[in-house]
Amino acid sequence: MSRSYKKQPFVSITPADSEKFDKILFHRRMRHEERRRLQETKKSGEFDDHLTTLPEAVSDPWMWAKDGRQLTDDPTDLRK
């Protein structure tokens, strides 16, 4: 793999290097909310009424540090 190179010239839109921390927080909140809802359902005993947690209920991807990636025309401008 020492000769591998980036074949598609995609770059980050913002200077953030990674979304790792945002993803960690998102999944933590998602698991917490799902556990909470399951406990409420367990107390009521109505498992047929259980609705799973939607991603929009715990996080907004527009508030994350990185705003996606875009295709660039300049192949020398290959920032992470």
pLDDT tier for residue 45 given thresholds of 50, 70 and 90: confident
The Cα 6–Cα 10 span in angstroms is 9
Would you call 1 helix, strand, or coil by DSSP?
Answer: coil
Whether 11 contacts 77, CB under 8 Å:
yes
With CA atoms as reference, report the closest residue to 61 among 12, 26, 11, 16: 26
Pick the more confident residue, 78 or 35: 35
Is 80 exceeded by the pLDDT of residue 33? yes
Task: Give the Cα-Cα-Cα angle 74, 75, 78 (nearest 5 degrees).
Answer: 100
The Cα 14–Cα 27 span in angstroms is 22
pLDDT tier for residue 28 given thresholds of 50, 70 and 90: very high
Is 90 exceeded by the pLDDT of residue 27? yes
Pick the more confident residue, 1 or 16: 16
Is 80 exceeded by the pLDDT of residue 34? yes
